[in-house]
């Protein structure tokens, strides 16, 4: 349960960071654009708030070992949140998010061991459930914070977990393109990956072998690349050998 407890602590830290960023926002700020150009900050927060509510339904079913909620239940949650005005979306998101974090923190040791959750990719234990929520939460918190502070970075405590979880996402997020195998070296925390490109995209541990290019950058920047958030205005120093960074950005347009 070490991974689960570490990830729960990171999710709490991400919630606290979101509250610190979002609670002081003015009505004008919540109506201003978020990092995803099609959403306002209020809509980013609404996405987190409705997501917390939906994850709460999945969580309750997983802990109580009852059938997972159906898609109709999710549609109802989204409809309620979409009908809120921007001020309510922003305020209610923090309360909804806090309730989910408190539920997770309130599990007994036995519940942490036995709970199983039906996620979109299959059954998952608590550590995986929390990783999924943390990956969404920390990245969307950045979507809000970076609009207020262009130097913002994703919560450091979340970076390693998000990159681990990203291995299951890049196949869905990455767009087909020219084949390649990029040796990616990241720092803080240090790790090496093989980023496989082509008809199918994959992120794998680096096990040696040939590569078509080399990419070196901070781990936080790499996860933002995979999530479609490493535009030139928000990129640190990156070393790229035989890698077209703009083409790589196009492979990961974001989600």
User: In the prediction, which pLDDT does 151 show?
Assistant: 95
Euclidean distance between CA atoms 68 and 117, whole angstroms: 8
Whole-prediction pTM: 0.94
Find, among 169, 116, 162, the residue nearest to 137 by Cα: 162
Residue 56 CB contacts under 8 Å (≥ 6 apart), including other chains: 96, 99, 100, 103
C-alpha distances in angstroms, 173 versus 77, 111, 119, 215, 225?
Answer: 25, 32, 17, 19, 11
DSSP designation for 215: E
Task: Specify the pLDDT at position 37.
Answer: 84
How many other CB atoms are found less than 10 A from the CB of residue 230? 23
Going residue by residue through the chain, which has 255 residues, state the pLDDT in tens, using 9 for 90 and above.
569 999 999 999 999 999 999 999 999 999 999 998 899 999 999 999 999 999 999 999 999 999 889 889 999 999 999 999 999 999 999 999 999 999 999 999 999 999 999 987 888 999 999 999 999 999 999 999 999 999 999 999 999 999 999 998 898 889 999 999 999 999 999 999 999 999 999 999 999 989 999 999 999 999 999 999 999 999 999 999 999 999 999 999 987
Residues in the chain, total: 255
What's residue 195's pLDDT? 97
pLDDT of 173 reads 87
From residue 93, how far is each of 23, 75, 83, 238 by CA, in Å?
10, 17, 13, 35
Taking the domains of the chain in order of start, what are their residue ranges? Answer: 2-166, 170-251
- Angstrom distance (rounded) from CA 180 to CA 161: 25
- Phi/psi of residue 195, nearest 5 degrees: -100, 110
CB 208 within 8 A of CB 185: no
Q: What is the pLDDT of residue 1?
A: 56
Q: Which helix (H) or strand (E) holds 227?
A: none
The pLDDT, as a whole number, for residue 255 is 76
Find, among 11, 18, 16, 233, the residue nearest to 140 by Cα: 18
Class of domain 170-251: alpha beta
Q: Which CATH superfamily is domain 2-166 in?
A: dinb family like domain (1.20.120.450)
Separation between Cα atoms, residue 196 and residue 160, nearest integer Å: 20
Phi and psi at 8, nearest 5°, equal -65, -40
């Amino acid at each position: 349960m070490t991974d689960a407890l570490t990830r729960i602590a990171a999710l709490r830290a991400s919630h606290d960071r979101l509250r610190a960023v979002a609670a002081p926002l003015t009505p004008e700020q919540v109506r201003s654009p978020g990092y995803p150009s099609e959403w306002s900050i209020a809509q980013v927060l609404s996405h987190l708030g409705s997501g917390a509510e939906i994850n709460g339904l999945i969580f309750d079913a997983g802990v109580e070992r009852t059938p997972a909620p159906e898609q109709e239940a999710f549609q109802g949650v989204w409809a309620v949140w979409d009908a809120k005005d921007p001020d309510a979306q922003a305020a209610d998101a923090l309360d909804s998010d806090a309730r989910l974090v408190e539920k997770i923190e309130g599990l007994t040791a036995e519940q942490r061991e036995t709970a199983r959750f039906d996620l979109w990719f299959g059954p998952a234990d608590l550590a995986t459930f929390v990783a999924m929520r943390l990956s969404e939460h920390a990245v969307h918190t950045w979507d809000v914070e970076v609009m207020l502070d262009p130097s913002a970075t994703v919560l450091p405590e979340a970076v390693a977990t998000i990159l681990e979880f990203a291995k299951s996402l890049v196949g869905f997020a990455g767009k087909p393109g020219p084949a390649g195998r990029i040796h990616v070296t990241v720092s803080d925390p240090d790790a090496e990956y093989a980023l496989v490109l082509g008809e199918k995209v994959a992120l794998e541990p680096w096990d040696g072998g040939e590569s078509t290019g080399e990419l070196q950058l901070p781990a936080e920047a790499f996860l933002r690349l995979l999530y479609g958030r490493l535009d030139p205005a928000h990129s640190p120093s990156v070393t790229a050998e035989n890698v077209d960074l703009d083409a790589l950005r196009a492979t990961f347009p974001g989600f």
